Structure 1
Amino acid sequence: MAKAHDCVGAITQRNTHFLFAPLLLIGGPVVAQSGGTTTPEIVVGQVLDRIEPVTEAGLHGFFQLLGNQPIAFVLLALAMGSLIGKYSLKGISLGSTAGTLLVGVIFSMIAEAAYGITYTIPGILSSFMLLLFMYALGLKVGPQFFSGLRKGGLAFVGIGLIVFVLNWLICYFGAAWAGLAPGYATGLISGSYTITAILGVGQNALASGAYIPPTDMTIEEVGANMAAAYAISYVLSSVGIILLIRYLPRIFGYDAVADAKQAEADFSGGAVHPVPGAPGALTIGFSPYDLRAFEVRHESFVGRTLTKLASDFPQVPILRVVRDDVVLDPAENPIISSGDIVTVRANVHDLILEEGELIGPESDNPLARNVPMEVADVHVGSHAISGKTLEELESQGTGGIAVQALFRAGNELPLGPKSDVRFGDVLRLTGPDGALKAAASQLGGHVILPTLKSEVLYLSLAMLVGYLVGIATVHISGIPFALGTSAGCILAGVGVSYFRSRNPEFGGPVHEGARSFLQDFGLNAFVAVLSANVGPKVISALGGDTILWLALIGTAGALIPPLVAFWVGTKVFGLNSIIADGATTGGRNSTPGLNAIIEESGSSIAAVPYPVSYALTTVLALIGGYFSMILS
């Protein structure tokens, strides 16, 4: 017993230093009890031996825990940032992305300044999350992307050029006017543009000898100036651009929601239904067709089989037969008897005025009326069908199927009795499951229904291709030119969505709930990781009046160009305010800003022009960063 007691005491002593910070905040450590029993303190110590232990009490221990467990930091920043982002002051709110960035930066700054804890989270996590966001966004805008290029490609390029030129002039000449040391101008361009790669081309100019520092400065000091300017301007511009882009339409007197709806109508070419593969494509919505149940009384129906009735009365498709509270199997082609209850689906006008007289009195039998309706896209794969009109197809008996929309080469066509169906078209049909499958078989295709199946195969392959295209780099005079992985992945999503909108048999629509979650979580997790790594750099850059100049010039370089570009886009190019906003945030290379205008407008249409100006200004910003260094 003595040895056992000594052992417990030793364990207690060994674990005294490994106290979980939240426990201390509640009431301090629990003192071990005598008698050789297991104490709460020992249990806490044993648990903390199995996770990363903290060695400090109170808030110090709390921030140490976040440093030891980066995943805890990311999740806490996501939770608190999303919560803060929901609150608004006079109609203005941060949103979840800016809220997450703000929370993360504050936490990392407190940890560095108060406790000397530097948070570092591997950049691969943030990079991957950003690419997930870009791919998910591409999935949503894919069907509209190419029509967007045709409608306003030159205007999008012009907006990108305006943003780039003004940003470079403000940052370069602002740093020169303020008398800032070499390196600061390049860092300001990089941070205000939120393009970290600009630091890389600046370092390349130093390493290659294209820029030689003054005799009283070292290459390392110039590099430190770049990093400090980047950190200060990055944080301020990241938060500022999210708010600016979000409220640009409101600042200039536009209604973001109304303009987004107008832009969606403009870019759809007058179509009223989402194309195959687009989110929300397979929703029934309003239909003039309805279900009604009637009790068979008229002799014209009695004694005939279902197939005979379908041939004799094609305008009255029977979906279900109920006899003595039992649903009959339609595959057995039952003979209709007097008193049976039949469920039909047709135009509401016809059902009200005609079918009651044709069949018998209406019935409220729940078995007869409970026929689930579905909507599905069917790719026409039969050459025998090609060339027939919808009127001709309906005359053959539809089994309760209604045509909701007709698409050819990804474009919606006007719908009417004389609309012809061709091989390769996509028909959007509504009706009961069995009838949909029968119609699909007749059309030579198969039913595409909403699905929750995994998208991992498409996601991984498409993102891999987009990523490899994005990193393909061409060096000209030491300057790397590349599309960029973000642009590569959004174009991969565009490609997948565009292809599937024309060939829905390759997976059908991506489930909107899964796509939306991927988009929101990917971006906010990226921002959370970024905030942890940027916070310490902000602390190191504090000191003297230099920080004031960096904050002023960096903020001006981040916010003035988008204001001017948006005005030019709406007033000179005549763009819809949401389209101009999307092109502006692409020109500013601000993915969080794009998400902000999407949230504000309730539409993803702003993402249509984004890749065009984004890809252009990414290349121009790298060139500009290189020359800002060698001209210093």
Structure 2
Amino acid sequence: MGKAFNLRVGLPILFLANTASAAGNQMIADGERVIGQIFDKVEPVVESGAHGFFQLLDNQPIAFILLALALGTYIGKFTVKSISLGSTAGTLLVGVILSMIAQSAYDITYSIPGVLSSFMLLLFMYALGLKVGPQFFSGLRKGGLAFVVIGLVVWSLNWIICFFGAKLVGLAPGYATGLISGSYTITAILGVGQGALSSGAYVPPAGMSIEEVGANMAAAYAISYVLSSIGIILLIRYLPRIFGRNARAEAKLAEADFSGGATHPVPGAPSALDMAFSPYDLRAFVVTHKSFVGRNIAQLTADFPEAPILRVVRDDAIIELTDDLTILEGDIVTLRANVHDLILNEGELIGPESDNLLARNVPIEVADVHVGSHAISGKTFEELESQGTGGVEPQALFRAGNELPIGPKTDVRFGDVLRLTGPDSALKLAAKKLGGNVILPTMKSEVLYLAIAMLIGYLVGIMTVHISGIPFALGTSAGCILAGVGVSYFRSRNPEFGGPVHEGARSFLQDFGLNAFVAVLSANVGPKVISALGGDTIMWLALIGVVGALVPPFIAFWVGIKIFGLNAIIADGATTGARNSTPGLNAIIEESGSSVAAVPYPVSYALTTVLALIGGYFSMVLTT
């Protein structure tokens, strides 16, 4: 009976198992067919292998930029005997190597639209202008003549080395102009040289076409550009060290000199709203003394203006502060005043100190307030404090962008900017009395002002004046850095003007903008280097280009520190401006840990940009 039962049960189970297995196999087969139909429609991005990898970078330029940025930044961190490439030179080197391998091994020519690199460069220049704006005009007053002379030294020596060097070794027409353009890293010189050809100002010798001269210019430009770009970054980075100067120590001296003795960043400047050391502190006391019990906030504020009550805690709850709030025995009151006074006096006047978290958790912030009340104008700090500070402490006072010392007799005037610390509610109340608004730290970037200012700077930069057929323009880079300078300058007088800008956001624009520009540039230059290879001509192009790129700034730096007595970082900033090397400027900023090198940069940059275009034109016209 048991066996029969097992047989009857077992057969259906076996049948069901076989059926399920068949159904499962059918489902798998159907699934594979559906998946196959889906992926039959998906074409591979590129072929496999190294060729496919470089083809991918050609099809997806963003991938090339990000790869060059990642590898270049990583390589730039390596240090050999305290010398490193830095992120900018590393990115340039990686990009050029990738583009050269693609061209030589797989006949792939990378070409990334220049508008991307141009925009990234302009972002860098604007962000840098925001950083150094308040110091820019001080720099002009302190070293304007020296900056001009440094610019003249770099430009004239570069022109002499490249023009007469090419002539001395017998290079064909076009090479000299290309060498000047590449060693100076100013692509516009090629356009000026081409303009001299197309206008007939220069006629090629018999047997040579205009196209051949243009090809010579491009080849010389490509070779000298790559070598001089990497070389100038390293030279500018280590010039102070070569002359026995400590870059970081020199930068601190320069910052102190250009600040005019100020100890706080001007309004709108990076770190302006960072919390600094203050002798003021928060303390909480349990009210037990009869002199406090039964009195209201207005009475206590009048009697103790130097130590206002910021918070009252009663029965583990915060009580809303009003002038008629009466203090009861057992209340916990929070005060903010000079620590010395609080330690010595308040405990005796009020009662024992309390560690109650609710009473002590009063956030303190830093804010700039633009004085807009004529009723306040002319009053001294002593007079303002006598009216009750509400727990607000003055940290700095700025007038017309300059910091003034704070003392009891210092007066506050209409248009001044006061930097205050205190609780948010107290800051807003103080701002209302001063006739202004509270400017607090922010994590936002002011895109509206950025876009308008960069647009104005860009339009000013492209304005061109033709003199004797030579086009002259300030340049979009110079236009945008001056736009940043202008915004930060006006913000130092009125912090509500487009600010504040968070330093992290500004720093990101500066670093990412330049390195992305260099990554795009390296992709487009690499193929030109390949086309210029061959024969002994490349040896002369490399030698003359490097000498023309590095010797003039070396001598100009010496002139700056020895003849004019400039601070090494200021001389370095003027030198890299004279060489039109924005990556070089970033290198000395990284090395010195300060942006003060950018103060003289726009002066020598603007001067030599004009002179280089003139020189490029005549290098073509005078070629024989």
Contact kept in structure 1, 2:391 and 2:426, CA below 8 Å: yes
1 CA distance for matches of 2:179 and 2:162?
6
Contact kept in structure 2, 1:276 and 1:508, CA below 8 Å: no
The residue identity in structure 2 corresponding to 1:484 is G
1 CA distance for matches of 2:344 and 2:222?
73
Residue 556 of structure 1 is matched in structure 2 by: 547
Residue 24 of structure 1 is matched in structure 2 by: none
Contact kept in structure 2, 1:281 and 1:509, CA below 8 Å: no
Contact kept in structure 2, 1:468 and 1:485, CA below 8 Å: yes
- Out of 460, 481, 484, the residue aligned to residue 475 of structure 2 is 484
Counterpart check, 1:101 vs 2:98: no
- Out of 186, 205, 208, the residue aligned to residue 214 of structure 1 is 205
Residue 219 of structure 2 is matched in structure 1 by: 228
Change (3 A) 1:188 1:43: farther
Change (3 A) 1:602 1:227: same
Whichever of the two has the greater Rg, that structure is: 2
Counterpart check, 1:418 vs 2:409: yes
1:331 CA drift (Å):
3.9
Counterpart check, 1:125 vs 2:116: yes
1:42 CA drift (Å):
7.0
Residue 37 of structure 1 is matched in structure 2 by: 32
Counterpart check, 1:525 vs 2:516: yes
The residue identity in structure 1 corresponding to 2:381 is L
Residue 281 of structure 2 is matched in structure 1 by: 290
**Structure 2 counterparts to residues 198-597 of structure 1, below 5 A:** 198-331=189-322, 333-597=324-588
Contact kept in structure 2, 1:585 and 1:591, CA below 8 Å: yes
The residue identity in structure 2 corresponding to 1:341 is I
1 CA distance for matches of 2:393 and 2:117?
47
1:500 CA drift (Å):
1.0
1:370 CA drift (Å):
1.1
2 CA distance for matches of 1:350 and 1:35?
84
SS in 1 for 2:531: helix
2 CA distance for matches of 1:280 and 1:490?
20
- Out of 166, 177, 194, the residue aligned to residue 175 of structure 1 is 166
Counterpart check, 1:156 vs 2:147: yes
SS in 2 for 1:350: helix
1:86 CA drift (Å):
1.1
2 CA distance for matches of 1:177 and 1:606?
37
SS in 1 for 2:290: coil
1:472 CA drift (Å):
0.4
Residue 3 of structure 2 is matched in structure 1 by: none
SS in 1 for 2:354: coil
1:38 CA drift (Å):
4.7
The residue identity in structure 2 corresponding to 1:286 is F
Contact kept in structure 2, 1:471 and 1:485, CA below 8 Å: yes
Give unmatched runs, 5+ long, in structure 2.
1-27
SS in 1 for 2:283: strand
Percent of aligned pairs sharing the same letter? 81
Name the TM-score, length of structure 2 as normaliser.
0.94
Change (3 A) 1:223 1:411: same
2 CA distance for matches of 1:45 and 1:600?
54
2 CA distance for matches of 1:248 and 1:330?
60
The residue identity in structure 1 corresponding to 2:217 is M
Deviations 1:306-353 (A, max 9, x none): 122111111221111111111111147421111111111111111111
1:452 CA drift (Å):
2.5
Change (3 A) 1:48 1:435: farther
The residue identity in structure 2 corresponding to 1:37 is E
Residue 78 of structure 2 is matched in structure 1 by: 87
1 CA distance for matches of 2:249 and 2:238?
14
Deviations 1:543-599 (A, max 9, x none): 001001000000000100110000110011100000000000000000000001001
Change (3 A) 1:42 1:272: farther
SS in 2 for 1:404: strand
The residue identity in structure 1 corresponding to 2:151 is G
1 CA distance for matches of 2:161 and 2:440?
53
1 CA distance for matches of 2:141 and 2:333?
51
- Out of 607, 613, 618, the residue aligned to residue 609 of structure 2 is 618
1:394 CA drift (Å):
0.5
The residue identity in structure 2 corresponding to 1:395 is S
The residue identity in structure 2 corresponding to 1:79 is A
SS in 2 for 1:294: strand
SS in 1 for 2:619: helix
2 CA distance for matches of 1:548 and 1:561?
20
Residue 594 of structure 2 is matched in structure 1 by: 603
Change (3 A) 1:536 1:41: farther
Name the TM-score, length of structure 1 as normaliser.
0.93
Change (3 A) 1:168 1:395: same
2 CA distance for matches of 1:461 and 1:363?
53
2 CA distance for matches of 1:95 and 1:537?
24
1:41 CA drift (Å):
7.9
RMSD (CA atoms)? 1.4
Contact kept in structure 2, 1:450 and 1:508, CA below 8 Å: no
1 CA distance for matches of 2:289 and 2:438?
36
1:47 CA drift (Å):
4.2
1:147 CA drift (Å):
0.8
1 CA distance for matches of 2:85 and 2:323?
62
Q: How many residue pairs get matched? A: 596
The residue identity in structure 1 corresponding to 2:303 is D
Deviations 1:201-221 (A, max 9, x none): 000010011111110211000
Residue 11 of structure 2 is matched in structure 1 by: none
